[in-house]
Amino acid sequence: MSESNPSIQKEAPPSSGSSEASDILDLKDDEGWEDAEPDEEETQFISLLDDEVFTDIMSMLNHCKDKHNFDFLQVRQRLGLDFYGNIKLVNYIRTQVHNGHKVTEDVSKEAFEDEKFLKPLLEDDALLFSLDELPDVEQNFSASQDNGKGAERDSGELVSRVSELEEELRMMQTQFDNYRATVKETLDERWNNQDTTEQSSNAKKEETRDDDSHYFSSYSYNDIHETMLKDAIRTDAYRDFIYNNKSLFAGKVVLDVGCGTGILSMFCAKAGASRVIAVDNSAIIDKARENVFANGFSDTITCLRGKIEEVNLPVDKVDIIVSEWMGYCLLYEAMLDSVIWARDRYLRPDGLMVPSHMNMWVAPIADPDYVSDHIAFWRDVYGFDMKAMQAGIHDDAQVLHMPASTVCAEPFPFLQLSLHSTTVKDLVFKRKWVGKLKQDIDALDGFIIWFDSFFMPSREDIVPQDAKAEEWAKTGKRGNAFTTGPNGTATHWKQGVMLIENTKTKPESRKEGEQLSGELEYSVPEDNSRALTVGMTWKFDSEEKENSQKWNMK
C-alpha cells in the first residue's frame, strides 16, 4: 500500500554506548545531586535469608542451601513457578526475612499469590535481574492437565505443547525485558521524587480543565509513530542536520522535548552528545526506553515521563534543544508553548534550537474536483437529498495534501517564527496577506496553509521570511530545510485546508491577474487550549465586499 522507504539507511548497530558516555548516575555537571547513590560497578547478590553478599547468583543460592537448608531451585521446581512466580517468590522471601519471619522449604504457592510481591523489596535486586540465568524449570505436565481432557495425549499434542511452551518462553523474555526497563524507570523516577511537595501543590492547581489527556494518549499507539517515522521528509531532515553537524553535538547536553520513540535522541547520541534527556508525557516513553536500551544508549539517554513543565531534569541547563513539535497548520496541538517554556527554563544563553526557524505560507485554491466529491456529493445520494450533511463541512479545517495545480495565486509568506526568540504571545496573531490570481478560476474554493522548517547551525544565522525550503538546499545555503507545501513531497502534515462556504450563493468566476488581499488570524478557542481557530478575511480589489470566515481545528 504505502511505498517502501528508500531513505532508511542500513547502519551497523552501535557496539556499545559512546566512549565518553557518562554513567546514568554520574551527574557531574550539576549541583543538588550529591545524595544520589554511588556507582555500583560490581553486581552484588544479597542473600535471600541473611545479610551476606555474593558476587554471583549460584554462590548465593548455595549459601542459602548449605547454611539455611533452603534450596531455592528445588522450591521453584516443586511449585512449577513461571517467570512472575519466581519474582514473587523472591520478593516474598525477602519480605518475610525483612520482617523477621522464617521461610522454610515447604512454602506454598498461596503464600505469595498476592500481586504485591511483584514489587521488588530491594532496590536493584540483582537476583531479579539474573533469574534468567538459572536452569529452566521443567514443566510439570500433570499440573497443566487440569482441564480434564484425559490422560491420553498423542505425540501431536505433545508437540503442540512444546511449541506453546516455546511461545511462552518468548513472551517471558519480552516480559523480562519490559521488567528490566521498568526497574530502570524506577531509577529515573527517583530523580523526580525530590520535591513531591511542590508537585502536589501543582496538582491542585490543575484540577480545572483537562485538554491534555486525550492529546497525550493519542500518542501512545504504534500507528502514529510509524506514520511519523516513515515520513522521510521529516525524519531525514532531522537526521541529516544532526549527522552533518556532529561538531555541534559532540560532548553537548541535549534536551529532546516530546521524544516519542526516541529517534531524535538516538540521532543526537550517535552524533556524539554526551548526554541526552528525552521527555514525553505519553506511554510511548516506555517503548522509547526499551529502544534506547536495545541500541546500547542507556548510559547516554535518560528517558523521563511527564510534562516538560513538571518533570525534574537531572541537569540545570542544556546546550541544545531538539524537538519535533510541529502540528497541522504548524500550531495545532500547541506543543510549541512547551518547547518555548523549555527553552526559557533550560537552554543556555548561547544554546541552539533544532529546528531554528519556521516560515508560514498561505495560498488561495480552486479545486472543483474536491468540491464535487465531498460537497456536491450530498445533493443526490442514491436519489435522496442529503444536503443537511454539508452543514459544518466549512466550519472545520481539513488536513489534505492538495495538488500544486489547485494553488491559484503565488503563495504568501505571512509569518516567520524564529525559535530562539519567539514567545508564546507571538503564537496568536493577525497578519495581512496579498495575492494575484495566476489562472482563470470558476470559483475561489478556499485557502491552504503550510510551513517550511529550517535547521540552522548557529543562533546568528538569518533566514529570510520569504525563503522557500524547497529552494534552500539547491542554492547551497547553510543548514537544512524541508517544506510541507504543495510543491514538495507530501508529509504527514499535508496542508491545512479551509474551504469557503460557497453553497448558499453561486460563487463568481475570476480572471487571471485579479488581485485580492486579506487578513489571517490564529487564535486559541477558550474551551480547548490544544485546538486552533483560523480566521480569514478576503476581498478582491475590484469589489467593495469583504468576506470573512472562521475554521476550527480540533
Contact set with another protein (CB under 8 A) = 1-2, 4-5, 8-13, 159-160, 163-164, 167, 174, 177, 218, 221-227, 229-230, 235, 239, 261, 263, 266-267, 270, 287, 290-291, 294-295, 328, 374, 377, 381-382, 384-389, 391-393, 396, 398-401, 492, 494
Which strand (E) or helix (H) includes residue 416? strand 412-418
159 three-class SS: helix
The grid cell for 61 is 543460592
Identify the CA nearest to 330 among candidates 548, 520, 537, 475: 520
**C-beta of 260 vs 518, nearer to another protein:** 260
**β-strand pairing of 429-436 with 412-418:** unpaired
The C-alpha torsion from 448 through 470 and 269 to 308, rounded to 10°, is: -20
219 membership: H or E segment, kind and range: none
Indicate which residue of 324, 470, 519, 543 is catalytic.
324
d(CA 68, CA 62): 10
Residue 507 zone, left/alpha/beta (φ > 0; ψ -120 to 50; rest): beta
Catalytic residue, candidates 42, 198, 333, 470: 333
Q: Decide whether 112 or 325 has the Cβ nearer to another protein.
A: 325
Instruction: Write out the H or E segment, with its range, that includes residue 183.
Output: helix 155-192
- Nearest CA among 265, 305, 261 for reference residue 287: 261
The nearest distance, CB 173 to another protein, in angstroms, is: 10
Phi and psi at residue 260, to the nearest 5°: 60, -130
Q: How far is the CB of 7 from another protein (least distance, A)?
A: 8
3-state class of 14 per DSSP? coil
**Whole-angstrom distance, CA of residue 241 vs CA of residue 264:** 11
| Cα 61–Cα 127–Cα 123 angle in degrees, nearest 5 | 135
- What's the rounded Cα separation, in Å, for the pair 536 and 394? 13
Q: C-beta of 65: minimal distance to another protein in Å?
A: 37
Please report, in angstroms and rounded to a whole number, the separation of the first and last CA atoms in the chain: 28
SS3 496: strand
Q: How far is the CB of 396 from another protein (least distance, A)?
A: 6
Q: Which residue has the cell 554471583?
A: 56
Nearer to another protein, 459 or 492 (CB): 492
Indicate the residue among 368 and 464 with the shorter CB distance to another protein: 368
* Positive or negative torsion for Cα 127, 130, 133, 137: positive
- The alpha carbon of residue 291 and the mean position of all alpha carbons in its chain are separated, in whole angstroms, by 12
CB of 294 to another protein, least distance (A): 5
CB of 170 to another protein, least distance (A): 8
Q: Which is nearer to another protein, 245 or 291 (CB)?
A: 291
Q: Does the active-site annotation cover 410? A: no
Q: How far is the CB of 492 from another protein (least distance, A)?
A: 5
User: Is 333 an active-site residue?
Assistant: yes
Give the nearer residue to another protein in terms of CB position, either 116 or 554.
554
Burial class (CB in 10 A: 0-12, 13-18, 19+), 198: exposed
Strand bridging mode 547-553 / 45-46: unpaired
C-alpha cell at 504: 448558499
Cβ proximity to another protein, 58 vs 224, nearer residue: 224
Pairing state between β 45-46 and 53-54: antiparallel
- Closest separation in Å from C-beta 329 to another protein: 12
Shortest Å, Cβ 125 to another protein: 23
Give the C-alpha separation, 62 to 104, whole Å. Answer: 15
Task: Identify whether the C-beta of residue 291 lies closer than 8 Å to the C-beta of residue 266.
Answer: yes
Nearer to another protein, 29 or 168 (CB): 168
Query: E strand or H helix at 3, and its extent?
Result: none
Confirm if 46 and 128 have CB atoms less than 8 A apart: no
Q: Is 280 or 290 the residue whose CB approaches another protein more closely?
A: 290
- Give the span between the Cα atoms of 22 and 503, in whole angstroms: 64
CB of 522 to another protein, least distance (A): 19
Residues classed as catalytic = 324, 333
